Chain A
């Protein structure tokens, strides 16, 4: 076994392994959870490297494919792009080897692959845009943002010795998250954002604070719920098979609910509002193990959405556009109607099962959003149903690896943190892709890693870095016992 490479730890690790094995016998249905692996299991860094080679080569081939399809020649920037993505991935990998050797082997390759494919698609749409009108350096910018993202990834790898440190910043995180969420309300919305205020703009520079707020909020929720979970879980009355919380324990969820409604009303940002509230409900449920919270959450979000839809036009416009995406093409388009959803559905339908091939679709008909919120429409047209299924599987894998990390984490803060980050990603993917495919009303968020947008790319690289750190500490052999605050049994639980 090549993985006995931590000389000196072998004995102690072996001991831990036996102890853990005993624990597993008492809970047999958990057998086979490789993430909760025993000491001595391979650290999987070579697996990661092999997958990374694939994750870098595939976008390079896609890049060549676009060039051949659009210009009948290999693109000039192919070498630079390949070296760029390759070296970013290599540096990230080496840092993981050094600072998180037991980290999950799939997350970095999946993030690299999605990021790489996204840059290729943005470059391909840049070319279309250039033919339409002028120069669009979006792909170059996206590559620079990716480099910044990987830099932040490295920063997290090197500087974040232990994710539990973040627990100390619970309430600072709350303040930071509130500032991040509130800031866009003070900046004007552009016409093409359809009233949604999700940007902070300073000249040509703009950031989407919601993407960072997602992580900071998760820190706050995890820290807060870890402390309050017992109170929220235990003090409850039983009613019709459900544990109902006491009235005063409803406080936190009502506050969060009100905040998300404020976001919806003042920033017209359905996506962030939904993500924010959904994330809290999921984490509350995980922390308390009380299904009743889910019920409360659902009732409150439906009630809030209906109330806002009846009082403001923004949500109603979105819902109307979802119910009749082709209304915008009619002779009398409704006020605020956008062709985007209809164009996206036509792009998807035109792609069919196998797609038109990279560089051969016409998803630029979706207009500027083809690179950002609607990049899935572009992938759907050019790679077809087949390609979209593969992309959804990549996201499903990424989310599931994150949730595995949560299962394996040895401390409740880590568990809550990992659950929060993973389910935030799942919710975001659902909300974005659901909007693009017409499953749910459009909300205006970006597809993690794929879509154009610096904030999104940077924040998601940080997110993956944190998950990797948590998984490293979870899978690290002979790690120190979990802190006493766990309180509900052994570390494996």
Chain B
């Protein structure tokens, strides 16, 4: 019987060998595919298996990684002041994924980025607990807080930029939400409520919403006029009738108030009083090509990655001159994000050089080694320095003598522009109140701001950029420049 027993032994060995080959196939060759299979929940659990790195502003973390020691999730994201920081950080939720910086910088924050590989390996060998890296933002917490507090219960957004570098100093969107309330894996009720909220608190209005920019767009139109030689000086007469008949039509364009002296105004007095007639004619005279070229130098018609992507602001290619005239006063089809409007002021304040806006200053490992550092770069030369000087003069005049008096700050040179944008069917919606401005200290520090306040007031006449938005811009500029 021994011969068949030997054969049975070989057969049994072959059985075990087949198991070994198969296991090598699954755990060796196919291992990565199974590990990264979309149904493999380990990937999700791994993200929360060790402390997540933090998002830093002004040297302080604005996020935490709380040790909750669940079986599935060891750590959970929380925020120091969620509603204030949500537009900057986005959310990172066990159940609902992530967005904003939390999503874009997930490699660094969760520690899986290839650039952290060496340090992770070192940590593994030394027994150090794995921890994600930090993302250092450009946000100045004082400015952020001033902007957030000034917005209060109003609906809208604030963006503040450092014109010299493009650094985003504040990014506020209200109403906001606490991302901590949806960070867990059993926050379905909060998630549903936030998504059902008609005020859309989870939307980042500062980057993702495009509004009609209204009169703030007159800055772009005036810039185009100087750049293209339509006018040489801010005191040049514009030969504009009041009311102005839109070219090719019989439509009369009027100004907001009969008190305004817009007939045959100079560029400066047109800007001071925000005369629609003056700038509609200016845009029509320049034509859509020149207007669009100037708008695109400011960043219109392109997305801006901060790295969180800002929606594309639009200056349209309207077929007729009367529409271009309307586009040129920030109505009709012109749309702009609050960031875009801030970029216009920033370019003017920085002598025509528009710097690429950025939100992330540096990425660093858990051991504080810098992994990457932002290098400032120019987005475009939006205008010549000479034009920039004229535009600054115009904007200073608006704050001194015109519609922007509410933004005056003693001891600072402040330039601004108001806007009140009509919107909705037959302009029936409560208008958006805009204010964009810059401020400079004598020693050369500067800040550029854009504020938009949505239909927060039921008093339709009460909504104007100067009254509603300018005080917010003022508070932000004061915070930024320490006045």
Contacts and interface: CB of A to CB of B under 8 A. Distances in A.
Contact of B23 (A385, A399, A406, A419): A385
A40 B10 CA distance: 29
B15 A289 contact: no
Contact of A282 (B8, B23, B40, B41): B8
B16 A396 contact: yes
Interface in B23-47: 23-24, 26-28, 30-35, 37, 39-42, 45
Interface residues on B, range: 35 or more
A345 interface: yes
Interface string A409-422: 00010011001001
Given A346-B39, A395-B16, A437-B22, A286 B4 contact: yes
A116 interface: no
Interface stretch (A238-246, A258-266, A426-434, A466-474): A426-434
B71 A131 contact: yes
Contacts of B70: 131
Contact of B31 (A352, A412, A423): A352
A352 B35 contact: yes
A407 B6 contact: yes
A388 interface: yes
Interface residues on A, range: 35 or more
Interface in A1-57: 30
A412 B11 CA distance: 20
A186 interface: no
B12 interface: yes
Contacts, number: 137
A385 B27 contact: yes
B42 A385 contact: no
Given A289-B1, A362-B41, A439-B19, A385 B12 contact: no
Given A286-B1, A396-B13, A348 B18 contact: no
Nearest to B19: A433
A289 B71 CA distance: 56
A434 to B, nearest CB: 6
Contacts of B26: 345, 348-349, 437-438
A374 to B, nearest CB: 13
Contacts of A348: 23, 26-27, 31, 34
Contacts of A102: none
Contacts of B20: 389, 392
A350 B15 contact: no
Given A352-B27, A385-B27, A346 B22 contact: no
A353 B42 contact: no
A350 B8 contact: no
A128 interface: yes
Contact of B2 (A345, A434, A493): A493
Interface in A428-454: 429-430, 433-434, 437-439
B3 interface: yes
Nearest to A129: B71
Between B12, B13, B24, B33, the greatest number of chain A beta carbons within 10 A of the residue's beta carbon is seen for B12
A434 B25 CA distance: 13
Contacts of A364: 71
A434 B26 CA distance: 12
A1 B4 CA distance: 35
A349 B30 contact: yes
Nearest to A346: B40
Contacts of A430: 15-16, 18-19
Contacts of A429: 15-16, 19
7 closest cross-chain pairs (CB), A and B:
A349-B34, A131-B71, A426-B12, A385-B27, A430-B15, A439-B22, A329-B39
15 contacts: A346-B35, A346-B37, A348-B23, A349-B26, A349-B32, A350-B35, A351-B27, A384-B27, A385-B24, A388-B27, A389-B23, A392-B16, A433-B23, A434-B19, A437-B19
Given A282-B8, A437-B19, 8 more contacts: A346-B35, A349-B31, A349-B34, A349-B35, A384-B27, A388-B23, A396-B13, A439-B18
